[in-house]
Chains A and B, each alone.
Chain A
Amino acid sequence: MLTADSLDHIHKILSIYLWRVSFFDMANLFAKLQSSKQSQTGRTWANRLTAFGFLLPALTIFIFFELFSLLYNVYIGFHSWKGFGQPTFVGLANYVDIFTDKLFRGALAHNLIFMVIALVFMTVFGLFLALVLDSGMPGAGIFRGLIFLPVIIPTVVVGLVWTRIFSSQGGLLNQFLELFNLVNLQQDWLGNPRTALSAVLVVWVWRHLGYSVIMFGAGLLGIPDDLKDAAALDGASPSQTVSKIIIPLLRSVIMIVAILYAIFAFKVFTLVFIMTGGGPYNATEVMNTYMYDRVFRFFEMGIGSSITNLIILILLSFAAIRGRLKADVEY
């Protein structure tokens, strides 16, 4: 049982630990500030010119390809344009158009489903796996290496491999079902509108789970062992240790992982494009595949740009939250 006394004890250790961390952070920060002040070379014109020379090539291509493209995208978003001739200004009509389109709202909803799956499954299950690996399970190192492997495999390859696995013509999944005498469950997983989205989601989770396991693992390494041992000595059960000590300490990491996956969820494109192309009957359409269709099949550049701008806006708001988090966590 966890008594008030032992809770108090844990809190004391916790506060010492937190204090220590914040103290070291402050000390580091001061050292950094001082050293960066000293390390600056003098403010002579020659130095400024050198710095500018070093900066110029990167700045040039960055302005040319990114800033210019971004502004151009905003501009096209307010115009109706087929890609040739003169764009005509239409104001917000493109944005009205996409939000009144049922297909687009469906695509947006699918992105949101990706996000919910990410927030719930990737964080909870990722944290669970990280805890298991951190406990010193036999073979943890091998497993850690394995779970990260899908992250580095090119998306196109992942998509093609799993398309074959889900195929109705001798796909691996259907073969497994046959092996376990579940022939009546066999189907064309990606061709059936009711299963297609789930199938794509499974692959997406398979590809990206490694991130959260590794990031939580890094967070857990930052929690000193004596803290976990002290809780155990005071009679805290494993679940209490997790909920009362580990989760509060990992709060920032959990937030970062959640936002990371939220960002991934709005960037989905290649996997859907390769596996289903948004079909069957738009069952797996996401914003980016919808955008690709409107641009490369119907040549509606304005519509495409407005969707892209919307996605950038969403990502920007996530990044803003992430930027505020960065201040109080470092790992």
Chain B
Amino acid sequence: MRWKEIPFFIRLPIFILMLFLAFLTIAPFMYFISLSLSKFADTYNIFLWPTSFEIHNYVEAWNTVNLGIHYRNSLYVTFLALVFNLSLGSLAAYAMARYDFPLREPIYNFFLAGLILSSESLLIPLFLNAKVFGILNKWWTLPVIYATLGLPFTIFVLRAFFETLPSELIDAATVDGCNAIQTFCYVMLPLSRSALLTVGLFQFVWFWDEFILAISLVTNNELRTLTAGLAKLHGEYFIDYPVLAAALVLTVIPVIIVYILTQRQLIRGMTMGAMK
């Protein structure tokens, strides 16, 4: 079906519907940006555009409600989880793609089965064992657990990718005197940049978004990530909406920047990993 072949009286309502949908998608963003720039007194009659330009809401959000700390924690947790996830995941995927060893397929399927487990399904055992194993309120708790929960998808995509790379590369590297680790680091990893990016973007969005474990396994406010910090902010204090709005805008900014820079790769990663 070509757009131009559709009769005009059908085309027009469809186009209007699409414009309306686009408006529905953007309106919440516009509303919160204008709210974040408005005076506290105007909170209850803010519309889609700002009536004033109160940039100090952002400063206040950053300093007085500890957003700076949560921000730092989120960046740190996400970064560390990505490093753990991609390094361990790519090593395991490479082993299963390039080596033959007993129980290889059962182990692979065992990893894949983890695709259906989400953070909600592991909340209770992790929370209960957190006390026993002493992983409550530790700086490495969230990165390690996020990395683990992300392993099945990383291994699934990277194994399939490693299998497409020609084996001559390994042979050549071996002839040139590379050992297994050197082959992996200097030959395989540089070649799989695009696959790593696809996986990494999906994991990034997911790590930045994760909430239930972040709020349950970390109770120390100094270690809370953004999502947990925002929920707490919303729940416990008198709500200064412009400041809250500024905090939300700041939270979304990294994701939007990444989305704009890597739209195609990010969408591919998100749809591939949608089962998670």
Contact = CB atoms under 8 A, between A and B. Distances in A.
Contacts, number: 268
A319 B230 contact: no
B252 A153 contact: yes
Interface in A132-149: 132, 134-138, 142-143, 145-149
Contact of A41 (B99, B126, B144, B271): B99
A176 to B, nearest CB: 9
Contacts of B266: 152
B259 A149 contact: yes
The prevalent SS among residues of A at the interface is: helix
Interface string A175-206: 10000000000000000000000000000001
Given A35-B167, A47-B99, A146 B22 contact: yes
Given A58-B151, A156-B227, A301 B248 contact: no
B225 to A, nearest CB: 10
A40 interface: yes
B45 interface: yes
B99 A39 contact: no
Given A58-B88, A137-B18, A149-B25, A154 B252 contact: yes
Of B88, B216, B244, the most chain A CB neighbours within 10 A belong to B88
B1 A154 contact: no
A241 B1 contact: yes
B3 interface: yes
Given A62-B114, A131-B1, A172-B31, A69 B101 contact: no
Interface of A: 32, 35-36, 38-41, 43, 47-48, 50-52, 54-55, 57-59, 61-62, 64-70, 72-73, 76, 83, 129, 131-132, 134-138, 142-143, 145-157, 160-165, 169-170, 172, 175, 206, 211, 214-215, 218, 228, 232, 238, 241-242, 260, 263, 267, 269-270, 273-274, 288, 291-292, 295-296, 301, 304-305, 308, 311-312, 315-316, 319, 322
Given A206-B25, A211-B274, 8 more contacts: A36-B163, A39-B97, A39-B98, A48-B102, A55-B92, A153-B255, A157-B230, A273-B211
Interface of B: 1-6, 14-15, 18, 21-22, 24-28, 31-32, 35, 43-48, 88-89, 91-92, 94-102, 107, 110-111, 114-118, 120-129, 144-145, 147-149, 151, 155, 163-167, 170, 180, 184, 205, 208-209, 211-212, 216, 226-227, 230-231, 234, 241, 244-245, 248, 251-252, 255-256, 259, 263, 266-267, 270-271, 274-275
